[in-house]
Amino acid sequence: MEFHELTERGMVQMQTKSPELTESVTVQGRTESPELTERDMVQRQTESPELTESITVQMQTESSELTERGMVEFLEIDRKELNMPYADTANPDPELTDMWHLNGVMKYPHNIEEAWALGYTGKGITVGVIDTLMQTNHIDLTNMDESSSYDYYNDDDDPNPPDSTMYHGTSVAGIIGATKGNNYCAVGVAYNATLIAIGLLGLSGGNILTDSQQAMALSHMYDTIDIYCNSYGPTGSYSSSSLGSFRQAAYKNNANYGRQGKGNIYVFAAGNGGSIATPNTKSHHTTIYTIGIQSVGYDYVVRYGEIGSSILASAYGGSVFDRSLTSTSTNSGCRDGLRGTSFAAPIAVGIIALALEANNDLTWRDVQHLIVRTSKPYGFKDHYDIENKWQRTGAGLRVHHKMGFGLMNAEAMVKMAIKWKTVPEQLTWQSKVSSPNMTLEERSKAKSKIDVSRDDCPIRHLEHVMATVSFNYSCCRGAVEVYLVSPSGTKVVLLPKRYNDASFTYTESGTFTWTYKVVHLWGENPLGKWKVLLKLNSMIASGRLNDYIQNDTVNDNVTGGSNDYIQNDSVNDNFTGELLIKMVIFRMILLTTTSQTVQYLKIIYP
């Protein structure tokens, strides 16, 4: 789906280009006036001959530059997705009043007070809290901008909750920006930041949200809001959810035009499904524009921490076994016993706000670079999955399947932000397809190699890798594990085992195709032999690896372009029967410029 920016006359065009799609549509829009209203109501109507009914979707634009009513027509079915807050369901601990995640009493600190001592408290930075409905006039949320807040669940300008039981969003907001010095309840990480409430979840449990509904929330005041905090999402233990075209367009547009062209920063909680779940199959974690944050306990990875290559870093989120967090709650109350990735994500948001105050010229990519470089790979242990250990990447960084590059460090990030020079423009590198077929016998391996020399491939440093893998299964889909191994030998988890998914699909067969975001290879040289590993646990009668796609975003000192090479290597354990492997290899294309500065590659989705 292409997204073309709004022109001076408000022209919008979106067009699908995949001939394989049975619901492929052509989308074209036109404003009826040179300018649109600030909360322009946009009517989207399907005109596909395959559809028997018209579907009308109302959307709102948030740009202050658009001042009069306009109309845009789209031929697109609006997707729905089940979302829920990522709070832990365990009973609260006894009263907890100290801000342990702020004051440095932990074995491994965030060094937030040290960042405050440098003079950075979030002043001048605006954070949009996309969450449940929340109390906007809380006495400990004095920096809440009530007039700019909005409720996208009920489509009105009052994002306050209907009763006191819906506390989640109010608590998340307090972790970020609760008032300091009023002797009440909590202190936010970025206590001088401006908060804007963006109500999206109207129910405390599961919420069915449309793609356009989420896109509007993610684009709310995108030219004003610097960071969006998102502590919700679909489950990752037995299902997968992809981004619809509305959210894809919103992310791309806001990366290019949000924050006066520097790009909005989107932070998402990784989820509370434990080692048998992954953020990799959740819609918002499949795009390069988001930052996935994991939760840790005192000196260990928490039991509810999920596993996956899309997790960039970690923050304290509390645990039932030692300490929990305290924050604001409804009815101007104060709530302790908070734990979950829901409350790790706002700590990360607060730290990013401190860094943006230190250097507000940082782009969305700059922020990701800073997190990778300043997060600390402390000695956190994973007592629940002892196989998950720190490994050193080919770039010399330490990375963990659950913790990403480690615990975020506010002091280090602020200091690096002060001196940081904006990364140069990205370039594009995409692939060409080659498709050999191979058959695996029990406990055998199949390999397909393509060697590309240094002369053929000028790429030297990775940012993101997007890997698409498809396999057929006769039952128990969740028993399939997929790994990617870089030329440097770094092994990352694309798809872990998922017991719930195996149970749900015990009597089902089908094909699973997914594109996985990989950030754990950041900074590595992509030259050499790549491997895709497919591992089947018991109960799988047959499996097939259909497609493999790799797209890389890189930081490179050279311009020019050619190919890259990928090797696919599939491993079959505890398997009786035959495994058919079909591998698709892609030639990567680098688009060059005449610039002599350091260049970056930009992802192109297949």
End-to-end CA distance of the chain: 10
More confident residue, 466 or 473: 466
- What's the mean pLDDT in 428-452? 44
Options 3.40.630.30, 3.40.50.200, 3.40.50.620, 3.40.50.2000; CATH of 83-419: 3.40.50.200
Q: How confident is the model at residue 365 (pLDDT cuts 50, 70, 90)?
A: very high
Residue 118 pLDDT greater than 70, yes or no: yes
Q: What is the pTM of this model?
A: 0.78
Catalytic residue among 131, 366, 552, 564: 131
pLDDT at 171 over 70: yes
**pLDDT top residue among 219 and 588:** 219
The active-site residue out of 327, 342, 431, 448 is: 342
Task: Please give the pLDDT value at position 195.
Answer: 99
C-beta separation of 584 from 550 below 8 A: no
Over pLDDT 90: what percentage of the chain?
Answer: 44
pLDDT band at 437 (very low <50, low <70, confident <90, very high): low
Given 101, 138, 168, 464, the catalytic residue: 168
How far CA 380 is from CA of 339, 372, 406, 427, in Å, comes to 18, 17, 9, 37
Domain map (residue ranges) of the chain:
1-77, 83-419, 426-602
Q: Decide if pLDDT at 161 tops 50.
A: yes
Per-residue pLDDT band at 497 (split at 50, 70, 90): confident
Using alpha carbons only, give the angle 556, 491, 408 rounded to the nearest 5 degrees: 70
The reported pLDDT for the residue numbered 598 is 31
Tell the burial category of 277 from Cβ atoms under 10 Å away from its Cβ (0-12, 13-18, 19+).
buried
Task: Read off the pLDDT band of 460 (50, 70, 90).
Answer: confident
Task: Check if 168 is active-site.
Answer: yes
Mean pLDDT across the stretch 474-497?
85
| Mean pLDDT over the full length of the chain | 74
**The CATH homologous superfamily of the domain defined by 426-602:** Galactose-binding domain-like (2.60.120.260)
Residue length of the chain = 606
pLDDT tens column, 283-293? 999 999 999 99
What pLDDT is stored for residue 430 in this prediction?
53
Can you read off the two tokens belonging to residue 21? Answer: 């799609």
The CA dihedral of 85, 89, 93, 99, to the nearest 10 degrees, is -20
Cα 77 from chain centroid (whole Å): 23
The upper half-sphere exposure of residue 403, i.e. CA atoms within 13 Å in the direction of its Cβ, equals: 31
Please determine, for residue 421, whether its predicted confidence score (pLDDT) is greater than 80.
yes
Are the beta carbons of 43 and 71 closer than 8 angstroms? yes
Residue (of 86, 98, 107, 276) closest to 169 by Cα position:
86
Is the Cβ–Cβ distance between 44 and 210 less than 8 Å? no
User: If pLDDT is split at 50, 70 and 90, which confidence band does 512 have?
Assistant: confident
- Structure confidence at residue 382 (pLDDT): 77
300 phi, psi to nearest 5 deg: -150, 165
Q: What is the pLDDT of residue 436?
A: 45
Percent of the chain with pLDDT over 70: 64
Instruction: Look at residue 554 in the predicted model and tell me its pLDDT.
Output: 43
Helix, coil or strand: residue 322? coil
Question: 300 pLDDT band (50/70/90 cuts)?
Answer: confident
Report strand pairing: 531-536 vs 480-485. Answer: antiparallel
User: How many distinct helices (H) and strands (E) make up the chain?
Assistant: 8, 33
CB 144 within 8 A of CB 136: yes
Most confidently predicted of 83-92, 577-586, 590-599 = 83-92
Average pLDDT score over residue span 227-231: 98
Q: Is the pLDDT of residue 525 over 90?
A: no
More confident residue, 572 or 270: 270
Q: Is the pLDDT at 266 greater than 80, yes or no? A: yes
Q: Which amino acid is at 601?
A: L
Predicted confidence at residue 246, as pLDDT, reads: 97
Lowest mean pLDDT, pick from 267-271, 416-420, 545-549: 545-549
